[in-house]
Copies of this chain bind each other. A is one copy, B any other.
């Protein structure tokens, strides 16, 4: 493996015109064009590493620019020189002397670090001939820990505690793997409840979802109170009292309003209220949780492990929604998954977008196999679009993710799709401009 040299990085600004169908619409994100800053690492050994970070259209060029710079820190290095102290390499990216000022560890530069590190994990899996969940699942505790930057979290996640957990969780590994391989990992669908969908469409999609075996459904709220309640009642009626309904306000409210609105929506018996307020408001989430009595979920906009640490410390959340691109890739998510276990909070990844489903199935499988060791109260988000562009798309059966067995991180997009939706010069966008 030592001879795998990273020789070149290609970076692509990829944009899909999803806003035209209200796909992905919510109370805050009205017209997203699901997009990605996409990176291909070429090597001297016939392997490629593919990685992306998810964006909503405008501004993807900024992430592409950041990714082009950060990727220069990987090109010319051997893969093993990176992976043998992966945490140190991750810090090289997040702590780059001049770039750091633009964060640190947040926003555009953090999204770009995620894309590059995601590509390295993909490459690592391919070289080792394992899917990423298995690459992690097979690792020695110390190897897993060496991928993590413990800076700023050692007050909440003692390294010794983490090592013991990772050691102890070898027991029962084979049984859990059998179970996971047979039944898959529980999921929920967001595809039925987008903000821009009509009442009729929501009802129809719920019926279709039930027929396909779904048991957990998410509804976008944050409109006017009467509309939210009407749509919520429709969904509750359509799925019945025994299935799970989650509501998601996408950061729409201030703290006081969030408390009032969450209390109102409690009649729907939501399994959780997601993103009731600003993703930065740790103490606000804690208060909403205390004063509404509803389980609180957040994380897709939580920009690093330090923020997650505080969500746990403050008792602010019941559900930890990790994201594969918002924080710095697998490395940082390992830290967050371990902290979630330390604080007893279940991890239910955010997905959807472009490739997020493909990514997070690996993280939940690892969590089940080596950290949390249970599927209780765990579900992975599922959104049913854009998967056709992936060589190794997720497979869903009866509302569950089936364990992927292809090597790497499941993220490679067909060259044809990359060519067609590259922005601004891909064929789709060229034709789009000509038609205007």
A136 close to chain B: CB less than 8 A: no
Q: Is the interface of A mostly helix, strand, loop or mixed?
A: loop
Given contacts A59-B99, A98-B31, contact A110 B107 (CB under 8 A): yes
Query: Out of B30, B31, B103, B278, which one reaches A306, CB within 8 Å?
Result: B278
Given contacts A62-B65, A65-B61, A306-B280, contact A55 B155 (CB under 8 A): no
Q: How far is the CB of A425 from chain B (nearest CB, A)?
A: 17
Q: For chain A residues 258-282, which have a beta carbon within 8 Å of chain B?
A: 277-282
* Residue from A61, A151, A278 whose CB has the most chain B CB atoms within 10 Å: A278
- Per-residue B-contact encoding for A178-214, CB less than 8 Å = 1, 0 else: 0000000000000000000000000000000000000
Q: Do residues B96 and A58 form an inter-chain contact, with CB atoms below 8 A?
A: yes
Q: For chain A residues 304-358, which have a beta carbon within 8 Å of chain B?
A: 304, 306-307, 309-310, 313-314
Given contacts A106-B303, A107-B108, A155-B256, contact A99 B58 (CB under 8 A): yes
Q: Do residues A284 and B152 form an inter-chain contact, with CB atoms below 8 A?
A: yes
A404 close to chain B: CB less than 8 A: no
Q: Do residues A280 and B307 form an inter-chain contact, with CB atoms below 8 A?
A: yes
Given contacts A65-B61, A152-B284, contact A29 B100 (CB under 8 A): yes
A222 close to chain B: CB less than 8 A: no
* Interchain CA distance A201-B80 in the complex, whole Å: 44
A33 close to chain B: CB less than 8 A: yes
Q: Do residues A281 and B110 form an inter-chain contact, with CB atoms below 8 A?
A: no
Q: Do residues B306 and A58 form an inter-chain contact, with CB atoms below 8 A?
A: no
Query: Out of B62, B104, B254, B309, which one reaches A108, CB within 8 Å?
Result: B62
Q: Do residues B56 and A66 form an inter-chain contact, with CB atoms below 8 A?
A: no
Q: Do residues B284 and A56 form an inter-chain contact, with CB atoms below 8 A?
A: no
* Interchain CA distance A102-B29 in the complex, whole Å: 12
Q: Do residues A30 and B304 form an inter-chain contact, with CB atoms below 8 A?
A: no
A69 close to chain B: CB less than 8 A: yes
- A59: chain B residues within 8 A (beta carbon): 66, 69, 98-99, 101-102, 109
Q: Do residues A33 and B314 form an inter-chain contact, with CB atoms below 8 A?
A: no
A32 close to chain B: CB less than 8 A: yes
Q: How far is the CB of A209 from chain B (nearest CB, A)?
A: 26
Q: Do residues A304 and B283 form an inter-chain contact, with CB atoms below 8 A?
A: no
* Residue from A251, A277, A282 whose CB has the most chain B CB atoms within 10 Å: A282
* Interchain CA distance A96-B56 in the complex, whole Å: 11
- Per-residue B-contact encoding for A50-82, CB less than 8 Å = 1, 0 else: 000001111101110110010000000000000
Q: Do residues B29 and A97 form an inter-chain contact, with CB atoms below 8 A?
A: yes
Query: Out of B69, B97, B279, B283, which one reaches A314, CB within 8 Å?
Result: B283
* Interchain CA distance A28-B152 in the complex, whole Å: 14
Query: Out of B29, B151, B283, which one reaches A101, CB within 8 Å?
Result: B29
Task: Given contacts A152-B278, A154-B256, list 5 more A-B pairs with CB under 8 A.
Answer: A56-B98, A65-B65, A152-B277, A155-B284, A280-B307
Q: Which residues of A approach B to under 8 Å, CB–CB?
A: 28-33, 55-59, 61-63, 65-66, 69, 95-111, 150-155, 251, 254-256, 277-284, 287, 301, 303-304, 306-307, 309-310, 313-314
